[in-house]
Structure 1
Amino acid sequence: MASLSTAKRLVAKIGSALLVDRATGALRRDWLASLAEDVAWLKGQGTEVVLVSSGSIALGRGVLGLPATELALEQSQAAAAVGQIRLARAYEEMLAPHDITTAQVLVTLEDSTDRRRYLNSRATLEQLLSMRVVPIVNENDTVATDEIRFGDNDRLAAQIAVTVGADQLILLSDVDGFYTANPALDRDATRYDVIERITADIEKMAGDAGSGLSKGGMKTKLIAARTATAAGCAMAITEGSVLNPLRALENGANATWFTAQTDPQAARKRWIAAMKPRGTVTLDAGAVDALHAGKSLLAAGITGVAGRFQRGDAVAIADAGGHILGHGLTRYTADEARAIRGRKSHEIEAVLGYPARAALIHRDDMAL
């Protein structure tokens, strides 16, 4: 089983039932304070942390006096709007004493399926992490529709783990792992310590949600595990209601670990390499050398642009002789790339008329 202290980048998902007292609808402040201690401990070990947190609807419904039952769509959106501001403030208040800056990032699953929106999300999260900020990610339930009815933050957490290239994803849940059957109904159910591969038999064992505040059941957790492990991220399901739940997991608390099938960087490179390029950018010799040295591709090194492509599309990267060096996801359209080719980074805003990113293709979005 993995050690949290060895993770370079860790995503932890917090369920509504852990954050919000079911009886009163109030925030469990003592529990959140202990989670903040865990985050400070991980950051002290050199681990970058992203928190994917449910709870906005659960908090908002308590403030608005809505019942702890299925809500109409409009009620869910209103509860989320009220709860989001309280949720963000609570995380800020709990992490500030540890000198940790927080940021709220509201997304939907569509942000990870549309390449252009995906690149925007990735760039924002990468920038926050580089500045030692802890992003608090939540589904934007104030505007989401299908996500509120059917979605949950287990799958969103897996998508965020893939987006940021995390090597560990921890689902803090109201169960302490994956069982052969529902342990509340079957006394003979046994828990898996490690699942190397998600088979058809494993899928048959998954049940439905068991909490009035939480929507995620084992089916969604298996979907999350499949997404995360395929991208090189190990995933754990553990019971999170105890104080200091991440330290408890590190110290041997019950959990089920799903083994990563590769490493995050290799999985991302294979994904980019398999994409069909929509165009080609040709580089000068200096830019070719820079890429081989692990640098990003800047506009200054581009001598030619062919094809029609949009932001987020894959393009082929070629040297002056036409030899294809690899593929990359472009941060500019074809027209923009033509306008700024050969230009220094500080000249780009004047050419395009608006601020733009320094790299045309970031090194993390490139497979050579």
Structure 2
Amino acid sequence: MTRGVVLLFAVACGAAVANVYFSQPLLVTMGAELGMSPALVGGVVTLTQVGYGLGLFVLVPLGDMVDRRRLIVAQLLLLVIALAVIATAPTASVLLAGMAAMGLFAVVTQTLVAFAAALAPPAGRGRVVGLVTSGVVIGILLARTVSGLLADLAGWRSVYFASASITAVLALILYRVLPRHTDIRPATLRYGQLLRSTITLFARERLLRLRALFAFLIFAAFSTLWSSIALPLSEPPYLLSHSAIGSLGLIGAAGALAATVAGRLNDRGFSRQTTGLALALLAASWLPLAFTRSSFWALIVGVILLDLAVQAVHVTNQTLIYALHPDAGSRLIGGYMVFYSLGSATGALAATTLYAVSGWGAVCALGAGFSLVGLALWALADGRESGLHRQQLGSSTEQRAESASRRAR
């Protein structure tokens, strides 16, 4: 895992996951052109997340069973087709179908994360996962900036035409660069057994269940903000353009810093403390966000705090759960990310519906509620999780010692 290969993983992850978030600054324009009601417009985000969640369960686990290089390239090519359908959609129903398909194949991001974690040495896995996840963070946040700018210049469809072209180029590069032969042994399971084993892992591993619940809550809060923020900013007193709303992604890119720092802290044994601090920041972020209508600076502060917190917890989650069973990395990360997708879909649907009924204050109360439940869950689970983490650290130390001994011989 040279630094160049890690950066390639990060770029590919960012480009793939960005597709899931391109629509958020464009919802109003999409709805107006295709005659969609406000509730149906919210379905654009929800169906994308539903497709993503399904892909996490049925596609990502295949990384433990088949050649990951071929799986990644195949998913990217299918993603190109879905993006082309969205870009040319003549009706709302075709658009929604395309969004669901795009979400399904955008899970190539998690196949790449699992592959990177598998190729990384155990002692540096947190650092590698943090760097790759920083690419995911930048992709998520810059997606809004890029889509808003392109939509203002050439219409919302140009966003998906451009993404389809970039994805096709990445498929070719990854086909040539990803390792053809690795030491990773594929699982000797049939597809049905593979899916059932994912459920078995959840039943067996308490740490996996706990971290999956964290994922649901933090991404429900994350989606509560990002799926609805375009609504108040497109109304008085702001009346911002697509590109201006999308530029908020540049502010939230601070989350990429949190991803790399959290990865290094986890390698040093501070995952529990990192999680608690991040969840406290997440809850606190909703106080300045509540003043969005009267202060743009309050919005900026809230966005920075929220994105720092979410990505710090997310990287810590992925690093810890992968260490449980490295031979089942794709199933672990795929199963974990199902909760990410469910949380994102829940936050998006609830926030857009609540905004129409009760306004921005109710949306902020919803996001704060998700965040406080996560913090309470961390406090209640604190002692037992600490013991589980010490066991993982001991195992990692033994692996490093064994690796050093082999090198010495």
TM-score after normalising by structure 2: 0.25
Pick 1 or 2: higher relative contact order, CA cutoff 8 A, min separation 6: 2
After TM superposition, the score normalised by the length of structure 1 is 0.27
Task: Report which of the two has the higher share of strand.
Answer: 1
Higher helix share: 2
Larger Rg: 1
